[in-house]
Amino acid sequence: MTGFGAAEGTVGSARVTVELRSVNHRFFNATIKLPSELSRWEGEVREALRKRLSRGHITLNARVDRGVAGPPLIDEARFAAYVRLLRNLKDRFGLAGDVDVATVLRMPDVMSSITEGSEGEASAFLRLVDEAAASLADSRRQEGERLGTYLVERLAIVEGALSRISERAPARLAEQRTRARESIRQLSNGIQVDEQRLAVELAIQADRLDVQEELSRFGSHVTAFRRSVSDGTDEPVGKRLGFLLQEMLREANTTGSKAYDAAILTDVVTVKEELERIREQVENLE
């Protein structure tokens, strides 16, 4: 499911902003983009996201505004390493001038507002990640509610078509029986027909064409689908709805193959069109 979440706070002497975006995906798949000061906590960030979000392609971006809450810190070990490296290069290639402080301070990761290995700063950063994930989950929940309303509206159209098919089915069987009798009468061309045998054959044909069993199962699936959409729990329902949708499409196909009736076939087409619209949206549900 699509969604957006963000959180902002202080980590060390830096102001950190965490932004999360998600698009639909069958499984949990996280892309994490962290600045160098925060990259050591990537594993913890991934686990924090996994606890909040069960599926979707998640993209996390973190931005650091250095020195907002206090003076930046200098990594003296890295500073010394850069000094040695620059002096070695100067001597090796016979370069003029000297290595000055400004040059070294401009080297990557010499200055930082977040100290190495601080548990307090790690907790502060992971708390921001959790707040952003909670915001994203809430955004996805709201989208799910809107999709749920849409699905119920489409389902009402399906139920209307099923009701018309159910009303039409008995009359269609009677018409089929009458046509079969008339066809047999014309084909027999005055020859005596065994009425008992004819009645048995007509009953067998009626049983083959009867769609009440399919409509009954279809109705049960519709009830289960509606209940899953409207139960209000935080449990993932996407897979369950996908399965119910498969079963409904199976019953619609069987009903259509038995129809032999223009009115029923028209409603079967309507049902299948609505099921396809529902399927497209169910794929976006968690």
Same domain, 193 and 222: yes
pLDDT of 115 strictly over 70 = no
Same domain, 146 and 276: yes
Domain count, the chain: 3
| Residue 67 backbone dihedrals phi, psi, to 5 degrees | 70, 15
Same domain, 146 and 274: yes
| Residue 8 backbone dihedrals phi, psi, to 5 degrees | -140, 140
Select the more confidently predicted residue: 2 or 222: 222
| Contacts of residue 163, Cβ cutoff 8 Å, sequence gap at least 6 | none
pLDDT of 189 strictly over 80 = no
Task: List C-alpha distances in Å: 268 to 174, 206, 249.
Answer: 20, 19, 10
pLDDT of 123 strictly over 80 = yes
Spatial separation of the C-alpha atoms in residues 75 and 85, rounded to whole Å: 15
| Contacts of residue 160, Cβ cutoff 8 Å, sequence gap at least 6 | none
Q: Which residue, of 83, 105, 127, is where some domain finishes?
A: 105
Same domain, 162 and 259: yes
Query: C-alpha angle with apex 222: 219 to 227, nearest 5 degrees?
Result: 130
Report the pLDDT value the prediction gives residue 273, as an integer from 0 to 100: 95
pLDDT exceeding 70 applies to what percent of the chain? Answer: 80
Q: Is residue 186 part of a domain?
A: yes
Beta bridge partners of 64: 16
pLDDT of 164 strictly over 80 = yes
User: Which DSSP symbol is given to 72?
Assistant: P
Same domain, 148 and 234: yes
Name the average pLDDT for the chain: 82
| Contacts of residue 11, Cβ cutoff 8 Å, sequence gap at least 6 | 38, 64, 113, 114, 121, 124, 125, 128
Q: How confident is the model at residue 252 (pLDDT cuts 50, 70, 90)?
A: very high
DSSP 174-220: HHHHHHHHHHHHHHHTT----HHHHHHHHHHHHHHH--HHHHHHHHH
Residue 226's CB: how many other CB atoms inside 10 A?
17
Same domain, 267 and 147: yes
pLDDT exceeding 90 applies to what percent of the chain? Answer: 35
Same domain, 178 and 253: yes
C-alpha dihedral sign at 84, 86, 90, 93: positive
Same domain, 270 and 223: yes
Q: Is residue 227 part of a domain?
A: yes
Same domain, 208 and 265: yes
Q: How confident is the model at residue 71 (pLDDT cuts 50, 70, 90)?
A: low
Q: Is residue 36 part of a domain?
A: yes
Across the range 218-244, mean pLDDT stands at: 85
Report the pLDDT value the prediction gives residue 101, as an integer from 0 to 100: 83
pLDDT of 62 strictly over 60 = yes
Indicate the SS3 state at residue 89: helix
User: What are the pLDDT digits (tens) for 2-60?
Assistant: 889 999 998 877 889 999 999 887 788 999 999 877 888 999 999 999 988 888 899 99
Query: C-alpha angle with apex 122: 120 to 125, nearest 5 degrees?
Result: 110
Q: Which domain covers residue 178, as residue numbers?
A: 142-282
Across the range 228-248, mean pLDDT stands at: 83
Across the range 63-72, mean pLDDT stands at: 66
Q: Is residue 157 part of a domain?
A: yes
